[in-house]
Amino acid sequence: MTVTDFVPVLIQIALAAGLAGAILTGSVLFGQRGSKNKIKNYAYECGIKSDGKTSTRFSVKFYVTAMLFILFDIEVLFLIPWVLVYRDFVANSLPILGPILFFLGVLVVGLFYELKKGALEWEK
Amino acid sequence: MELTDIAIKSIYAIVVVSVLMGFCSYAVLAERKISSWIQGRVGPNRTTLPIIGSIPYVGRFLTRLGVFQPAADGLKFLFKEDVTPAHVNKLYFTLAPVLSLVPALTTVVVVPFGYFENAAGEVVNLVLADLNVAILFLFAISSLGVYGVVLAGWASNSKYPFLGGIRASAQMISYELAMGISVLPVFMWLNAPGTDGTLSLVDVVNAQGGALWNAMWMPGSFLIFVVCIFAETNRLPFDMAESETELVSGFHTEYSSFKFGLFFVGEYAHMLVGSAVVAVLFLGGWHPLPFMTWADFGVHGWLAGVLSVGTMIGKLCGFMFFFMWIRWTLPRFRYDQVMRIGWQMLLPLSIANLIVYTFVIYFLERP
């Protein structure tokens, strides 16, 4: 596994971005052009004139979800190196079951705490 | 790496992307045909081409089948007016469709879709980049797709897209957790004692050759992963991003022409890659039957290549059909239900599943 193994990834990203760019350019070049008018520029609200501010406030729950996601996602990442060596350790009678159960226990306690706190309760 | 190597890799990449785009456009047709079939309608059956359409019987049959419909749809996307409303944030508004297409097309690099045996009898895997961190790469890149959705919602500066975008982003990140944990048992079993650690998808398929498929002895992981795939691709019953009966059409309400088309293609490309990953991780990849490989059937050489790719595409199409079948069978969840399923049911379930397999593998492997 060397750095050159990642070259196809770069090629693919360049290709995908190029394709998307070409399609958007083509759409601008070949697309019909109608006259601009005020009605067309309104934010779409089912044909009625847009009412109130367009950027509304939104629930703090979304922030909480995002923060909790980061915590748990990092914990999932920590599990991946363990997964790679688990069978090897068990076969060689190295202690791994206890420590990992402790780690998962901490994760579960954290999740349980969040649930009990109602951090993940959404209004019905 | 030499220049000719890069040229060859580029040609492979172009072939894969063209095939994927072809599959995407016909997946749209399949969706329309299957939905009409489920609802007892006829579906697209008028679009025709001048010469091919007038061949007796065959042309009529193909027209009835709607084979020419994707071409017409594509041209229509191209020639419609590309409206950019005055109230949007122009840079991000244009960037968002690109950001939702690029991750979907990039993840396909690590997905293996077959193998063949060359003249020397060596097995060559058909995959653009056989990374040893494939599954991490896959999760990392596919989760970037959330930026496309949330940017589209935010840059549109309009109420419905904003709600759709923010709901979808919270949903997509929530289901990523359960998805990440649910695949861990697969890789736990894959890394046998004394081998180098690997997260490669090619190795997952090879390990399932001549053995049980992962879905059979890890049904919990399989189910959780499939549910999460539905949520990640924003398909019904989890299509919070669009929910067209509440939010007009969600995050892409303000989009028109091919900008909308890119979201559409991106969604289907995401579904195709997702189906391929399910086939690779849990359904034995290109192996025809559990405990049997193509080599056991006495198939070697280029024929093995054709059959393995065919098997893979068959499994992929089967899973795509499952996607569409579910879409027209289940109603959409309410938003609080979606979040409850993600955090309070799937996440604890996936951790429980992981602990169960930790013990199972411990007792299997104990000296």
- Distance (Å) from the alpha carbon of B170 to chain A's nearest alpha carbon: 6
Domain ranges of chain B: 1-79, 83-365
What's the pTM? Answer: 0.90
**Helix, strand, or coil (residue B142):** helix
Class of domain A3-117: mainly alpha
With cut-offs at 50, 70 and 90, classify the pLDDT of residue A55.
low
Per-residue pLDDT, B294: 80
Per-residue pLDDT, B1: 63
**Helix, strand, or coil (residue B123):** strand
Nearest to A82 by CA among B131, B197, B282: B197
Q: How many CB pairs under 8 A join A and B?
A: 228
- Exposed / middle / buried, residue B329 (Cβ in 10 Å: 0-12, 13-18, 19+): exposed
Residues 269-308 of B with CB under 8 A from A: none
* Amino acid present at B314: G
Per-residue pLDDT, A124: 66
Q: What is the ipTM of this complex?
A: 0.87
Domain ranges of chain A: 3-117
CA distance linking residue B214 with residue B221, whole number of Å: 9
Q: With beta carbons less than 8 A apart as the criterion, state whether B202 and B110 touch.
A: no
What is the tens place of the pLDDT at every residue in A1-35?
Answer: 677 778 888 888 898 899 888 988 888 888 787 77
Residues of chain B with pLDDT under 70: 1
- Distance (Å) from the alpha carbon of A86 to chain B's nearest alpha carbon: 7
* Residue B117 host element (H or E): strand B115-117
Place of tokens 């593998």: B361
Any B CB within 8 A of A37 CB: no
Per-residue pLDDT, B52: 75
* Amino acid present at A87: R
Per-residue pLDDT, B224: 92
- Distance (Å) from the alpha carbon of A72 to chain B's nearest alpha carbon: 7
Taking only Cα atoms into account, the Rg of chain B, rounded to an integer number of angstroms, comes to 22
Q: With beta carbons less than 8 A apart as the criterion, state whether B106 and A13 touch.
A: yes
Neighbouring residues of B221: CB distance < 8 A, sequence distance ≥ 6: B182, B183, B185, B186, B214, B282, B350, B353, B357
Could you say which of B81, B87, B253 has the minimum Cβ distance to residue A31? B81
Instruction: Please state the separation of Cα B228 from the chain's center in Å.
Output: 12
Q: Is the pLDDT of residue A39 over 80?
A: no
Residues of chain B neighbouring A56 (CB-CB closer than 8 A): 159, 162
Q: With beta carbons less than 8 A apart as the criterion, state whether B309 and B315 touch.
A: no
H-assigned helices in A1-124: 7-30, 38-41, 61-91, 97-117
Residues above pLDDT 70, as percent of chain A = 94
- Distance (Å) from the alpha carbon of B306 to chain A's nearest alpha carbon: 23
Q: With beta carbons less than 8 A apart as the criterion, state whether B190 and B204 touch.
A: yes
Q: With beta carbons less than 8 A apart as the criterion, state whether A87 and B361 touch.
A: yes
Residues 64-123 of A with CB under 8 A from B: 65-66, 68-69, 72-73, 76, 79-81, 83-88, 90-93, 97, 100-101, 104, 107-108, 111, 114-115, 120, 122-123
Question: Helices B69-79 and B3-38: crossing angle, nearest 10°?
Answer: 110
**Helix, strand, or coil (residue B292):** strand
B115, β-bridge pairs: B125
Q: Is the pLDDT of residue A120 over 90?
A: no
